[in-house]
Amino acid sequence: MMNGSIAKRYATALFEEAKAQFVDQQVYDHLGKLHANMKAEPDLQMALINPRVTPEKKYTLLLLASGLDLKASTLYTRFLRLLLENHRENQLRLIIFVYRDMYREHHGIDRVVFETAVEVNDAIVNQLTTRIKEHRHRKVECVRKVNPRLIGGFRLRIGDRRYDFSYKHQLELIRKELCPTL
């Protein structure tokens, strides 16, 4: 739990200061871009925890992965420097998750993951998010995922709730009904 509390302290401090400076959306966007790049490029995470990579090179990598240029001067860049000075770069992914959760909660945003077997058009996604907004009375941030193993149908995750309307799930339920011992 020690690591989680460290990440929470950093994320909370960043979020509170970002709110005070009215840049919480900007920091949220930078962290989102950084997270996407860390996910897409595992070598970035490896470089951050490599003791042979200098803090200045790590800082440059983090700026570029966040969509900023090397001349950027903001609360976000000061946060990155503080993180590196205190050797907390191994906590960055958790800090990102905590900050983004705090931001969404503060702004009344539900994160929705819409997983389908094939790519769906924007009209379907827009219809889905509109219905969720109407039902939950909150803003919606929708993430699309394609998972061919679903065969058809979809899975939906809204916050902590999961709904599985995939053909794969339906077939598993039928199999369990027909062969309960398997």
In this predicted structure, what is the pLDDT of residue 3? 61
Where are the chain's structural domains? 2-104, 108-178
In this predicted structure, what is the pLDDT of residue 1? 44
Average pLDDT of adjacent 10-residue blocks, the chain of 182 residues: 79 96 95 95 93 95 90 89 95 96 95 94 94 93 94 91 92 89 70
**How far is residue 11's CA from residue 152's CA, in Å, rounded to a whole number?**
39
Unique residue bearing structure tokens 């983090």: 62
Unique residue bearing structure tokens 């994320």: 11
In this predicted structure, what is the pLDDT of residue 182? 66
Cβ proximity of 147 and 135 under 8 Å: no
Helix residue spans in the chain (DSSP H): 2-20, 24-40, 42-49, 55-65, 75-85, 92-107, 122-136, 167-178
CATH of 2-104, one of 3.40.50.2300, 3.40.50.10800, 1.20.120.160, 1.10.520.20: 1.10.520.20
In this predicted structure, what is the pLDDT of residue 180? 82
Is 50 in a helix, a strand, or coil? coil
Q: How far is CA 113 from CA 19, 142, 179, in A?
A: 26, 6, 32
